[in-house]
Structure 1
């Protein structure tokens, strides 16, 4: 039986934290065709959950400390819309993402591992690449974005995720919605990572410094960072982060570094 450990536990021990890799990348390497699917790897929660559990287990064998659920592009509304299931079944599918990760950990029989419940931005549901622009946030209120994220957070919490990973957030407005929502779940810890357009700004054009200031207002956030960004942004963003977080326990998180080719509309793995 595994014993969970929080991200903050790793931080306090001053040890490197090894996250898992690209779940969809590994699934596609095994022959699953996920490109163009509005649910991405989350569809397999419905059609082939054992394949997801197997990838989780392989990441554990490779040394991962954190296993991230296959729920980045999952939502109650998305499952209802694209699978034709009921809201109740959609919630069960979201929860199953956590259960599969925990099943893999039980099989691995190791202590000090963490299950991170992944929640993508509203743009991931739209399936139009807007998690890299944040354009949708211009037409949405903070309250609307809160309402969108709430069912996913409820399900992942209920299933027992050790920490929630809000990933690829492209706008300050959506970050504010996440922070406000977390206050309604006072026992929940989370990290928040942004998508960036350059070394100074997140994807919607807001200053990265302003985005971090939003995160600093939330003691439930144990880390803030960036994901799915060009390697060229890493050093300047890290430098900026160190200045902004001075005097705070909030840690900086950097992961899933990939390069996006805007001409061919493809991604290339860098790290």
Structure 2
């Protein structure tokens, strides 16, 4: 029988606090897309985490651009930032840990500078969510989109992998954690155990392969049921997934949880994993063509927070902000 989870003092839920006051919370868009537009080369196993070392000021600029567009939350550049990954790239352990902490610091600096000039506006003070990418992101082998059935790692091993990075990210004092693109429920539960007594909560989002299952084939309802009510879980949802699947996934999640549901899908372009390239055009004839197009459907299905993942940018977030403004009284 598994050991009981420790009971912690209830923490404030920053996602719920925003959606109580506004029609929905706006998450930012893709970091990598914007870094590439600023001239950064991400053809590296570290992906956007490489820029933490090479051009941290560009990351700060991208965060600021999303705040200017209307985002209520910045997701940090730590998705692929792990001590193991940085050390594999030749850095010392201390340097790796400093870069992981820098990811939060850069987003907080961008947020604080922005809010100094915009605090009088009718919008929430933006949050900083420290990104916690999956084990598969560290492997850089695509397993965050298929699961770990072919790998020799169990829930205890996944917890061991995530523990040190979680401690370093929490030490930098983000507003919450963005545990994202998980392909497997076991990984979510391993992280949830580690966060049971953490000082801030986390949202947990899965990558999904169709309208009812996450990437390893687990029904999305099983994920919602397993995470609902656990200490430290602020929201549940889906990210890095095709627009066509979002409405059904949200509907299924809403049946099993009252937690805020957060979605930040891809742009609508289709990704070819063989050539590692994107192709324009909606992947499904009935799918929304962009975030703003899908917004009414996703809200009606029960979504609470909406943003963008791969290939989305500030223009997409601005469209969401304008749509929210139109829904606000007065």
TM-score of the superposition, structure 1-length normalised?
0.91
Look at both structures and tell me which one has the larger radius of gyration over its CA atoms. Answer: 2
Q: Between the two structures, name the one with larger relative contact order (CA 8 Å, sep ≥ 6).
A: 2
Tell me how far 1:159 sits from its aligned partner: 0.4
Partner-residue secondary structure (3-state), 1:40: coil
Hey, what does 2:49 align to over in structure 1? Answer: 42
Tell me how far 1:49 sits from its aligned partner: 0.5
Aligned pair 1:11/2:19, yes or no? yes
Structure 2 Cα separation of the partners of residues 179 and 91 of structure 1: 22
Structure 1 Cα separation of the partners of residues 86 and 150 of structure 2: 22
Aligned pair 1:221/2:233, yes or no? yes
The match for 2:223 among 192, 211, 219 is 211
Partner-residue secondary structure (3-state), 2:26: coil
Hey, what does 1:152 align to over in structure 2? Answer: 165
Aligned pair 1:91/2:91, yes or no? no
Structure 1 Cα separation of the partners of residues 174 and 275 of structure 2: 37
Hey, what does 2:271 align to over in structure 1? Answer: 260
Cα RMSD, aligned residues only: 1.8
Hey, what does 2:41 align to over in structure 1? Answer: 33
Q: 1:217 to 1:137 in 2, by over 3 A?
A: farther
Q: 1:251 to 1:52 in 2, by over 3 A?
A: same
Q: After TM superposition, which residue ranges in structure 1, 4 or more long, deviate above 6 angstroms?
A: none
Query: What do the CA deviations read for 1:142-190 (whole angstroms, capped 9, x no partner)?
Result: 11101111111111110011000000000011111111111142x2200
Hey, what does 1:78 align to over in structure 2? Answer: 85
Aligned pair 1:122/2:135, yes or no? yes
TM-score of the superposition, structure 2-length normalised?
0.75
Query: What do the CA deviations read for 1:108-129 (whole angstroms, capped 9, x no partner)?
Result: 1245110000010000000011
Please list every run of 5 or more consecutive structure 1 residues that lacks an aligned counterpart in the other structure. none
Structure 2 Cα separation of the partners of residues 75 and 132 of structure 1: 19
Partner-residue secondary structure (3-state), 2:110: helix
Tell me how far 1:12 sits from its aligned partner: 2.4
**Cα contact 2:197–2:231 (8 A) shared by 1:** no
Query: What do the CA deviations read for 1:190-224 (whole angstroms, capped 9, x no partner)?
Result: 00000111112111111111111221141311110
Please list every run of 5 or more consecutive structure 2 residues that lacks an aligned counterpart in the other structure. 1-12, 120-124, 281-289, 292-330
Query: What do the CA deviations read for 1:85-112 (whole angstroms, capped 9, x no partner)?
Result: 2111111100000110111112212451
Aligned pair 1:178/2:191, yes or no? yes
Hey, what does 2:107 align to over in structure 1? Answer: 101
Hey, what does 2:174 align to over in structure 1? Answer: 161
Structure 1 Cα separation of the partners of residues 236 and 93 of structure 2: 31
**What is the aligned length?**
261
